[in-house]
Structure 1
Amino acid sequence: MMVLLYNLSIRFYHGLVLLFSTFNSKAKLFIKGRKNIFKHIALKLNDEPRDRVWFHFASLGEFEQGRPVLEKLKASNPELAIVMTFFSPSGYEVRKNYNQADYIFYLPLDTKANASKFIDLVQPQKVFFTKYEYWFHYFTELKSRKIPLYMISAIFRPSQPFFKWYGSFNREMLSCVTMFFVQNKLSGELLNSIGINNWIVSGDTRFDRVYENSLQPKQIPLIEEFIENKKILIAGSSWPDDEALLIPLAQTFSTDWKMIIAPHEVDKAHVENIMKLSGDRAIRFSELEKSSAKTKYQFLIIDNIGMLSSLYQYGTVAYIGGGFNKSGIHNTLEAAAFGLPVIFGPNYKKFAEAVELIANRGGFSIKDFNELKDSFTHLSSNPINLQQSSSASKNYVKTNINATTIIFNTLGI
């Protein structure tokens, strides 16, 4: 019965995305990217004789999380062919030309026929999924073929269906996993509670990725011209609720500060709304190169995807968006790795790193404009406060690296 409901939900989801694709660009890419997908995969693979390892990522964030494992595996086994798939266009469209993977595809929707056909074509020797994406037909098909399946940086909470009386269908997916590399001991104990013992605490591979990025960030000369040696508040992955607080905050800035806003969604309407809120003090990144007076602007609006992890090197303080949404805050670790204190909204408690950054005084949660102003003033008005929070953020990241090494040592590869 549960399998039938699951299959119906997949078909309903596909129909919904198909409907939205008539007016939503992201949904349109979702559908277009999967058109003739199996013909495309077969043409690309073309019976190549090399062993293949399959890495799947939901979107861009999960890609960055699993990236250290993928790149270490490729470096130590260059003869392997890496097949990489994405569920979301926001991951695929940004990383479709990533040079460490040999083949990059959209993941076909999770039906029994699709899972069987995809695995027939790819024939992976090993499979790696990241964090918390579970697909019933892909997982059961891998198990039936005895293909090892590993979960990288897995994390579990008691509220998830896996640990409820009604969660037998969800638990069946967990039984297909060869090894869970969990972020913390609590996740392992939750697995124990349902009779799953094939786990090891590796930590979170995101720490490895953000730490590595902080050591060799990509330089962006246009940003360097814009900042003009000013202190910078970087708003990463912001949403309208965040921007409604951030723009008024700028009115409290001294002349020593500027703001860079990298919104989570960079569609035309969203960027134009930020520009409208910011007035004539703002400029889009796409227009910055043409400007003859780059330093006169107070706001820089990033109207592309993929720059954020490099932007943090230029920051003094970071605001991380999403904390006023149901899904919660976005990636705090990219900013923390550069030693930036991080401020975010109230919906953060299911993110262990945010909780721990607050405990270490490297992170600050706010509920409204007044709390945002207080947190920013605490950091901006006293160099000692700023330095202490900066050190706390950077040290937190540094003390949590090496998850990738633990994974490789465990697997013996």
Structure 2
Amino acid sequence: MSAGTRFTAAATGVALAAAPLLRRVRPDIAQALAARRRTAAELAAWGRGREPGPLVWLHGASAGELLGAVPVVRALRVAEAGSREARRAQLLITHGSPSGRAALPWLDPDHSGPPPLDRARDCDAVFSAVRPGLLVFAKLDVWPGLVAAAGRAGVPTALINGTVRDGSRRSGVLARRLFRASYAELDAVGAASPGDAARLEALGVRPDVLTVTGDAAFDLALERADRARADGSAAEFRAALGAADGATLWLVAGSTWPADERALLDAVAAVRRGGGPGWQLVIAPHEPTAAHVDALVASCMARGERVIRWSEVGAAAAGPDAWVVVFDEVGRLAELYAAGDAAYVGGGLGGTGLHNVLEPAAAGLPVVFGPRHDRADARALASAGGGLVTPAGALADTLAGLAHPPRRRRHGRAARAFVEAGAGAAARTAELLRPLWPS
């Protein structure tokens, strides 16, 4: 047993022992732990009853990681459909965060849920009952217990869209010692960039299984933006916002946290007071729970903002009657970006982690975000001229500048060109997995 598997098994034991305390102080963590504790039995029951045949197990931390795998799975399924010999592999998806459920309609799995606890008896029970032909990790969420159990079961393992962010805790000396053996067991690894490939090799990935494929999230971002324009959903959003005539400017703020929302409301109000072309604001919180939406609406009203929930817009356009629209729907952020004039992506102000900048960039929007992040794609987008890194105190100046059409169009074209330049990873990653894909 490797040091990494011993460490995660021990950490699991500590977490289970602390479950009563967690239920009082961190009920969200306690709930996730309880769900993972049930997973082994639930997956074993599903595995015993599933139709015999090939199965691929895909794991990702959350929606973003799983969505990046969508074009790859789609390409491999097209190849299956075109082959007389291949039988369509079933798909099992596990995700570490409840947000992962947003990716499920795109992947159409045969079964989905949280992963098992990362200890030998849980992982071995699942592999024995489910009998996968391939285990694929998306982005980075490589679990030592799962890798070790796959090895004992003779199941190949792969990592796609592999990314190791600068300063990642997994790059530390202790983490490299703990998890090196797990990374060394992987049978195929597709890295998002040459820099990621170098960092993955430092973590223990063998050079002979490592390929720079790119990140298929670029492909999906382009597809979603183009589809929103082609099927009319972007136009429907603009009409509902009252922006179809182009007389108003809409800033779409996606995946926001409270720090982002406070800064945005301050900045938009400051631009309005300055007398220049103003912005109307759509805020799509990262966690649009009823409590968060209610608090955000109350905050807007306390500021004197004319605010409306998206669910209340209905057939009537929000238009000039609302300065702020709180988007309380889940799963349609890419289409919403395609309806905007500029975008703000949350998570770069409060240290909560910057979210997906590719979706608004693919829609051809200038993308504004805060400086506190470790995302290489966001840094590259800013270097290409499509992203604008802006601290909270300078947000009003940035928005005032983007109110001028030539500047807005220049940044928007640069953003779209950046995503187009990164496309093509889906086909390369599918080729990497094809020899391992069960049929």
Q: TM-score, normalised by structure 1?
A: 0.90
Which of 287, 290, 299 matches 2:312?
Answer: 287
1:161–1:170 contact (8 Å) kept in structure 2 = no
1:74–1:82 contact (8 Å) kept in structure 2 = no
1:227–1:258 contact (8 Å) kept in structure 2 = no
- Match of 2:70, SS state, is helix
1:190: which partner in 2? Answer: 199
Higher RCO structure, 1 or 2 (CA under 8 Å, sep 6+)? 2
2:11: which partner in 1? Answer: 9
2:62: which partner in 1? Answer: 59
Identity among equivalent positions (%) equals 25
CA distance in 2 between counterparts of 1:329 and 1:17 reads 30
1:373: which partner in 2? Answer: 396
Question: CA 1:147 to 1:235, structure 2 compared with 1: closer, same or farther past 3 Å?
Answer: same
Of 285-294 and 144-153, more deviation after overlay is shown by 285-294
Q: CA deviation at 1:162?
A: 5.3
2:5–2:148 contact (8 Å) kept in structure 1 = no
CA distance in 2 between counterparts of 1:322 and 1:13 reads 27
1:242: which partner in 2? Answer: 260
Which of 59, 63, 72 matches 2:75?
Answer: 72
2:381–2:418 contact (8 Å) kept in structure 1 = yes
2:250: which partner in 1? Answer: 232
2:142: which partner in 1? Answer: 134
CA distance in 2 between counterparts of 1:333 and 1:20 reads 36
CA distance in 1 between counterparts of 2:264 and 2:194 reads 37
2:411: which partner in 1? Answer: 389
1:216 aligns with 2:227: yes
CA distance in 2 between counterparts of 1:161 and 1:298 reads 41
1:347 aligns with 2:372: yes
1:89 aligns with 2:98: yes
CA distance in 2 between counterparts of 1:24 and 1:223 reads 40
Q: CA deviation at 1:125?
A: 0.9
Which of 328, 335, 339 matches 2:353?
Answer: 328
1:114 aligns with 2:139: no
Question: CA 1:395 to 1:384, structure 2 compared with 1: closer, same or farther past 3 Å?
Answer: same
CA distance in 1 between counterparts of 2:317 and 2:170 reads 57
- Match of 1:347, SS state, is coil
CA distance in 1 between counterparts of 2:241 and 2:189 reads 45
2:338: which partner in 1? Answer: 313
1:337–1:397 contact (8 Å) kept in structure 2 = yes
1:202 aligns with 2:213: yes
Q: CA deviation at 1:401?
A: 0.4
* CA-to-aligned-CA distance 1:370-393 (integer Å, 9 cap, x gap): x1111111211x221111100000
* CA-to-aligned-CA distance 1:96-120 (integer Å, 9 cap, x gap): 5666211212211211111101111
- Match of 1:153, SS state, is strand
Count of equivalent residues: 409
2:387: which partner in 1? Answer: 363
CA distance in 1 between counterparts of 2:173 and 2:243 reads 59
Of 296-305 and 53-62, more deviation after overlay is shown by 296-305
CA distance in 2 between counterparts of 1:11 and 1:332 reads 37
* CA-to-aligned-CA distance 1:179-227 (integer Å, 9 cap, x gap): 1100111222234455730211111111011011111127274663223
CA distance in 1 between counterparts of 2:138 and 2:77 reads 17
- The residue identity in structure 2 corresponding to 1:83 is L
CA distance in 2 between counterparts of 1:336 and 1:177 reads 33
1:145 aligns with 2:169: no
Q: TM-score, normalised by structure 2?
A: 0.85
- The residue identity in structure 2 corresponding to 1:51 is P
1:170: which partner in 2? Answer: 179
1:50 aligns with 2:53: yes
Question: CA 1:11 to 1:407, structure 2 compared with 1: closer, same or farther past 3 Å?
Answer: same
Question: CA 1:293 to 1:138, structure 2 compared with 1: closer, same or farther past 3 Å?
Answer: closer
Q: CA deviation at 1:352?
A: 1.2
1:238–1:322 contact (8 Å) kept in structure 2 = yes
Q: CA deviation at 1:177?
A: 0.8
- The residue identity in structure 2 corresponding to 1:208 is D
Q: CA deviation at 1:33?
A: 4.1
Q: CA deviation at 1:60?
A: 1.0
Q: CA deviation at 1:283?
A: 0.9
CA distance in 2 between counterparts of 1:342 and 1:335 reads 7
1:214–1:338 contact (8 Å) kept in structure 2 = yes
Q: CA RMSD in A?
A: 2.6
2:300: which partner in 1? Answer: 278
Question: CA 1:65 to 1:260, structure 2 compared with 1: closer, same or farther past 3 Å?
Answer: same
Question: CA 1:325 to 1:180, structure 2 compared with 1: closer, same or farther past 3 Å?
Answer: farther
1:239–1:321 contact (8 Å) kept in structure 2 = yes
- Match of 2:135, SS state, is strand
- Match of 1:330, SS state, is coil
- The residue identity in structure 2 corresponding to 1:312 is Y
- The residue identity in structure 1 corresponding to 2:264 is L
CA distance in 2 between counterparts of 1:91 and 1:269 reads 21
Question: CA 1:29 to 1:89, structure 2 compared with 1: closer, same or farther past 3 Å?
Answer: farther
CA distance in 1 between counterparts of 2:400 and 2:333 reads 24
Of 167-176 and 383-392, more deviation after overlay is shown by 167-176
- The residue identity in structure 2 corresponding to 1:389 is H
CA distance in 2 between counterparts of 1:74 and 1:163 reads 34
